[in-house]
């Protein structure tokens, strides 16, 4: 009886360990090209709308289950084609507590995440993860960056984070 109980306990622990080991990916991008007017909350330009479609094409097969965006017209419009295709809501996030946002994103399971932000918020958000990026800033004319943070959950060990820096769509001018 004790031997059967021990085997059951080992099996249960093994199942818990295996189920806690998973990988999810967080894709971070800056909003696409924006119009110059209105100054307060500009929409995307036609080129920006095309870039949002390019983002959809790049991520359509990436099991995106969560989409986060700041509450501006340009970030929402960048996220919209993918969110619509994946049938997920665009969830707002604030840029005033990026460490909380990063902690929340790192814990999401059962799918991958798109985060759309701004030139002055993406790198500070990346800085909240234990990864190193090559960029020191994102110029106002730079819209094609794609930062890919992979979160590998490991049984009885800290999560492992890796960063891949890429681009998508036509090169930004």
Q: What is the CATH number of the domain that holds 80?
A: 3.40.50.1240
The per-residue pLDDT for range 24-83, each reduced to its tens digit, is 999 999 999 999 999 999 999 999 999 999 999 999 999 999 999 999 999 999 999 999
Indicate whether 8 belongs to any domain. no
d(CA 48, CA 52): 6
Q: By the 8 A CB rule, do 34 and 146 touch?
A: no
Per-residue confidence (pLDDT) for residue 10, from 0 to 100: 45
Query: Burial code of 55-73, b = ≥16 C-beta within 10 A, e = fewer?
Result: bbebbeebebebbbbbebb
The per-residue pLDDT for range 89-138, each reduced to its tens digit, is 999 999 999 999 999 999 998 899 999 999 999 999 999 999 999 999 99
Residue 8: CB partners within 8 Å, gap ≥ 6?
none
What are the C-alpha distances in Å from 115 to residues 39, 68, 69, 126, 145?
Answer: 23, 5, 6, 11, 12
Per-residue confidence (pLDDT) for residue 9, from 0 to 100: 45
Q: By the 8 A CB rule, do 114 and 122 touch?
A: no
Indicate whether 155 belongs to any domain. yes
Question: Does the global pTM surpass 0.75?
Answer: yes
Residue numbers of the domain that contains 130: 22-167
Indicate whether 67 belongs to any domain. yes
Domain count, the chain: 1
Indicate whether 76 belongs to any domain. yes
Per-residue confidence (pLDDT) for residue 6, from 0 to 100: 61
């Amino acid at each position: 009886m004790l031997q059967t109980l021990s085997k059951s306990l080992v099996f249960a622990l093994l199942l818990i360990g295996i189920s806690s080991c998973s990988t999810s990916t967080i894709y971070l991008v800056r909003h696409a090209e924006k119009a110059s007017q209105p100054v307060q909350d500009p929409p995307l330009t036609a080129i920006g709308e095309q870039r949002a479609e390019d983002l959809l094409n790049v991520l359509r097969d990436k099991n995106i289950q969560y989409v986060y965006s700041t509450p501006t017209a340009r970030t929402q419009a960048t996220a919209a084609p993918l969110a619509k295709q994946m049938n997920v809501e665009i969830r707002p996030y604030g840029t005033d507590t990026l460490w909380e946002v990063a902690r929340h994103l790192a814990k999401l399971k059962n799918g991958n995440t798109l985060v759309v932000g701004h030139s002055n918020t993406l790198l500070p958000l990346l800085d909240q993860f234990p990864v190193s990026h090559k960029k020191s800033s994102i110029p106002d004319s730079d819209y094609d960056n794609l930062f890919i943070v992979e979160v590998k959950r490991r049984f009885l060990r800290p999560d492992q984070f890796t960063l891949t820096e890429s681009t998508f769509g036509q090169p930004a001018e």
